[in-house]
Every structure is written in C-alpha cells, then in structure tokens.
Amino acid sequence: MTTKNELKAALSALGVSKGMTLEVHCSLSAFGELEGGAETVIGTLKELVTPSGSIFMPAMSFSPELPLTDEEKALGITVKIAILSPDAERTAMGLVADTFRRLPDTVCGSDTISTAGWGSHAEEVLTGGLDYAINNGGKALMLGVDIYKLTAMHYVEAATPPEINEMFAPTAEVSALYPPDKWLIECGHPPKKAWYTIQQKALERGLITRTMIGSCPVMFFDIHDVISIYEHELKTDPYELWGL
C-alpha cells in the first residue's frame, strides 16, 4: 500500500508546490492500494498547492466507451459513449475527478463538457475551462494515465483541417439513431495515434518528467509546452501526424 505520507513526499519531490496551477488526471487503480483512496489524492494535492494555487480536473458527463453491437459496427461506428446527466455520481473521468467535482469547495460548470476547479482561480472554470491553466504556466499531473487523458490537448484542435474531422464524423443516418445531445459517436479511426507522437516528441525534448509513486506511473509537465507541439503539428503537417 502507498501511504499518504509517501504520496505527499513523492509529489513534493516531483515539484508540486504552493501557489502552483495544476491540471490533474488520475487513475486511482494504478496505485493498486492507496491509503485513503480518492480523498487522499485530493487532500494531498490541496495541502501542497494550498488555496493560493489552483487545481483543475475534468468534469465531463460521459460514460466509459460502451460495447458495440454487430449492427453498430456495420454502420461504421467505432466509439459509442453515452452523455450522462450533469449530476451523475460516476463518469468516465474516474473516481478522483468525480469525488473532486462534488466537494463543497469545488467550483464546477454544469454543461456536459465542464471543468472543476479549486483554489485561487477556481472561478475561471465557469468562463474559460482550462484557459487559465494553459495560459498562465499551469502544469499537468498525470497519475496512472497518459496523454490521451489530457483535456488541454483539445484546446488547440481548432487548427485541425475541417476535412480531417469530416472523415470520422457520424453519417446523417448514425446521427439520427444516436442524437448528438445524448451520444458521443465516432466513425472510423485514423491510422496513427497522433497524441502518442506528441507525447514522444515532448519526452525527447525533455519536457516531461516521469517517475513512479508505488506502482503508479506519473508524468509532470508544463501544459502549454506540450500542447504547443500538437498545435504546431496540426498547422504544419496534420495528415502525416494522423497517418492519412
């Protein structure tokens, strides 16, 4: 079991400190056993960052990916996710994020795609989501997850050519069966996992610090530094990035 003291010491050594702005994504199961569970992760981060800093976590009302029927596969559907009620107790964001967004001192939007915030700039989530963290030196702390959980990556995707998005958009038939206000549907996959390419480029440039806390792999980095690589690739050679 990883104890709270061990978690706090490891996060402090990593660089999590007073006044910091953090975007946090966590898979609690990656720890195996963690003393105090989700509450320990949240409480420890608050102790280190203090109210002079800010903590942001995803608060998106999505289910995990759901299994596909043969009929759905025949329609070209590759990802099916249900949009949940904003007050759903559990979502695909994980137990830590789900616990965090329901705490009385957390500020949280009520839209399907929202961010939860705590600390000195918590209110920023209501108007800008992660904009404050991205543009004010925020760090990303990835506990047991990789770059495919980094919500901030979506904030630069306006640079994606529309024709690429259209390649994987649901058809009119699929949208009629799965209304966009109730379902998140994808049709097809690009040949390359582009975000892993970005993660590898960031690692090669020394932008990501990696460590282990017990059995949990951890990444820690400047948000803007990493998502800027993605934005650059989307603007210069998006087809190569996605293998198209």
- Show the 3-state SS of 114-147: CEEEEECCHHHHHHHCCHHHHHCCCEEEEECCCH
- Tokens 């993605």 -> residue: 230
The CA distance from 5 to 47, in Å, is 12
Residue 37: inside a domain, yes or no? yes
Condensed to tens digits (0 to 9), the pLDDT of residues 176-232 reads: 999 999 999 999 989 999 999 999 999 999 999 999 999 999 999 999 999 999 999
Please indicate, yes or no, if residue 168 is contained in any of the structural domains.
no
Structural domain harbouring 10: 4-62+90-160+193-242
Confidence grade of residue 170 (pLDDT, cut at 50, 70, 90): very high
Indicate the pLDDT class of residue 109, thresholds 50, 70 and 90. Answer: confident
Q: Are strands 183-187 and 77-82 parallel, antiparallel or unpaired?
A: antiparallel
Establish if 150 belongs to a structural domain.
Answer: yes
What was the pLDDT predicted at 86? 85
Scored b (16 or more CB within 10 A) or e, 147-179 reads bebbbbbebbeeebeeebeeebebeeebeeebe
Number of domains within the chain: 1
Question: Cα angle at 11 between 10 and 17, to 5 degrees?
Answer: 135
- Asked if the structure places residue 166 within a domain, the reply is no
Does any domain span residue 148?
A: yes
Residue 238's pLDDT band, with cuts at 50, 70 and 90, is: very high
Q: Has residue 170 been placed in a domain?
A: no
The amino acid at 54: S
Residue type, 33: E
**18-71 per-position pLDDT tens digit:** 999 999 999 999 999 999 999 999 999 999 999 999 999 999 999 999 999 999
Compute the average pLDDT of residues 136-149.
Answer: 98
Strands across the sheet containing 216-222: 107-108, 115-119, 54-58, 21-26, 139-143, 216-222, 208-213
In a domain? residue 186: no
- Domain-embedded: residue 82: no
